[in-house]
Amino acid sequence: MSHNYSPQTATFPVVRMRRLRYNKLIRELVQENAVTADKLIYPLFIRQGKNIRTPINSMPGVFQLSIDELVREVEELRTLGIGGILLFGIPDVKDSCGSDATSDNGIIAQAVRAAKDAAQNKLLVITDLCFCEYTDHGHCGILTNRTGQTDVDNDATLKIIAEQALVHARAGADLIAPSGMIDGMIGAIRTALDMNQFEHLPMMSYAAKYASGFYGPFREAAESTPQFGDRRSYQMDPAAAAQQALREVELDLAEGADIVMVKPAMVYLDIMRMVREHFPNVPLAAYNVSGEYSMIKAAAERGWIDESRIVRETLTAIHRAGASIIITYWAKDIAKNVL
């Protein structure tokens, strides 16, 4: 039986989408969304002590490291072509205002100096700037009960945020990543840096950070679980209008952010796409967070999914949504071609 198809009007079989799929090399030739190691950031959790490499139960393959172990890790990472590391400090002693975070001899300052020496300018040393890991109450700043409800005092916290930023800068951080979602934090940090001759130092703001249930495993890793309440009074409501994220990004850029971030990544791809479309010339990062990591790890351990395939697909989706920088606990495995 013959079929009379007109090339001028028909789309089949003149147009066959499978022509660009039948050969692996052709698929690679036309790919537009390739995840490469130099665009990945690897989070690391650092604590005091020696020869410490403590596994995180809820995050297989992730550890709390002492500084000597951090140095060994960085020495390996610098050969892999990873874009950088993101450091989280865990002090031995915590107090109500996170004093260790504002000390030039605190855990994060020590970690930055050691990592910079080991990195030899082959990868970026990035610091998370927040107080939840350093306070005994697990919240992201100084507390107040002025409204009859205990909450983070926004403006009082800005003062210690600026101090913390200078600690990171003096230690040699290449990039500072403020994560507390405190109103005005980017402006406070930018002012402090500029007034102390660190005007060259860029910031990657956690601009659209949601109060998410996907952070649970991280809180075990960073020992930062709130001792009461939650962080919904300062992190974004997952059910809020998407335009709120655009406003947060806009404000942070106006205050001096150089890179903006959406966090978490997997279930906020719509937000990522909106940010990319509204701010096309601004570098956009995404944090592929602990809960996303742990879910995939757990399913893979049970043989329900192919971890390598799922991870590649997940990171590609994040990149396709608009993120040019991805913070992920799989960065090392991707760089080593283990996945």
Rounded Cα–Cα distance for residues 25 and 29 (Å):
6
Three-class DSSP category at 67: helix
Active site residues: 209, 263
My answer on whether omega of the bond before 13 falls inside 30° of 0, hence cis, is: yes
Q: Distances in Å between the alpha carbon of 285 and those of 121, 132, 316, 319?
A: 21, 21, 13, 9
Whole-angstrom distance, CA of residue 255 vs CA of residue 272:
20
| Residues 25, 27, 32: CA angle, nearest 5 degrees | 120
Instruction: Say how far apart CA 333 and CA 331 lie, in whole Å.
Output: 6
| Cα distances (angstroms) measured from residue 75 to each of 62, 118, 195 | 17, 6, 34
Residue 96: strand, helix, or coil: coil
Q: Are 146 and 233 in contact (CB under 8 A)?
A: no
Shortest CA distance to 60 belongs to which of 302, 297, 248, 314?
Answer: 297
d(CA 237, CA 4): 57
CB atoms within 10 A of CB 197: 9
